[in-house]
Amino acid sequence: MTETRKIVLPGEVIGDSKNNKSGYGTFEEDGKIISKYVGIFKESNDYISVISLSGIYVPKRQDKVIGIITDVERVGWVVDINSPWQAFLPVSEAVDEFVDLKKTDITRFYDVGDIVYAQVDNVKRGDVKLTMNTPVARKLKGGITLKIPPSKVPRLIGKEGSMINTIKEKTKTIIRVGQNGVVWLSGEEIKKAIKAIKMVDEKSHIIGLTDEITKLLSD
């Protein structure tokens, strides 16, 4: 249902240059292809590459994430969660009612392109399972999404929600922030809210950022 990907370490031999070509995140030495990073092993055509784990979203149990349905399978949905790993949302974790899978077209619940705010239920060897069985989970209708580095999410939320609440109140928007770095917005002054979120992304390291955001949103 989901794709399992191998984690490799810096200096690890991951192939040979006889049968493969060195791609991004690797180098050749003595006929061997070696990883430069801690990352995800990727083999495409004749190339071996490593996608660095630094700065990407690595799913953890109970994370709240925003994902997009990319495929419908017989017993659930494949979900893009802005990670090297796809996630899977089983029917049993998404729908309260009994569903006869032999007779029911499950696209009546979720279909390709739908956006969901869900929780990571389990992560095991690259298999990521989601659940909607939590009070905050829901299908997000309309609105728009943007992405920030997952590492910036705590700064965007702020202490006890101070930063994100300031943005929401000043722009009269509804905002959901996934721990996977995906942000969903709906409401009145979306453009101003996006401008504020991008400022948090760019200036997350400075002191007094909340005051700068407040000033920006007051203009």
Q: Is residue 58 part of a domain?
A: no
Say whether both 124 and 191 belong to one domain: no
**Confidence (pLDDT) at 145:** 97
Do residues 99 and 120 both lie within one domain?
A: yes
| Domain contains 2 | no
Report DSSP state, residue 119. Answer: E
Mean pLDDT, the chain, integer: 91
- Please report where in the chains the tokens 């705010």 appear, as a residue: 117
Of 85, 120, 140, the position where a domain reaches its end is 140
Distance, C-alpha 24 to centroid of its chain: 22
What is the count of structural domains for the chain?
3
Domain that holds residue 33: 7-52
Q: Given this model, what pLDDT does residue 2 score? A: 41
CATH number, residue 84: 2.40.50.140
Assign 128 to helix, strand or coil.
Answer: strand
For 14-37, write each residue's pLDDT tens digit: 999 998 999 988 999 999 999 998
